[in-house]
Amino acid sequence: MMRATLLPGLSLPGLSLPGLSLPGLSLLALSLLAGCGASTPARQDPPGWAPCRAEARNDPAAASLRQQSNPANVSNQSRIEREAAEAENRALRACLQRAGIPSSGGVEAPR
């Protein structure tokens, strides 16, 4: 039976990684684990925002803009998505105001 040796190279039964030392193996293992880490969780809306968020997603102005999108033209697609997101945001703010729910922030997004 083969013995595992860690220096100068790593030798395990059935595995040969010449030139890989213990610090190198540790760095490799940490890199692999870091790649498996979960990203930050999605931001949760405050209570009462869900109906307004749904209404904003179905906003006719945003839907009309998205229908004008031309997949063959990247700059057109970017502009349409930006304008549709702005229309959706306006619809969300209007719904929150009608419902008497304070919106987050306090500064209007720059245009």
Q: What is the pLDDT at residue 35? A: 65
Please report whether residue 47 resides in a domain. Answer: no
Owning domain of residue 90: 58-99
- Read off φ and ψ for residue 69, nearest 5 degrees: -65, 140
Please report whether residue 92 resides in a domain. Answer: yes
Number of structural domains in the chain: 1
Please report whether residue 7 resides in a domain. Answer: no
Please report whether residue 43 resides in a domain. Answer: no
Please report whether residue 95 resides in a domain. Answer: yes
pLDDT digits (tens, 9 = 90+) for 33-67: 666 666 677 778 788 889 999 999 999 999 999 89
pLDDT digits (tens, 9 = 90+) for 58-89: 999 999 998 988 888 888 899 999 999 999 99
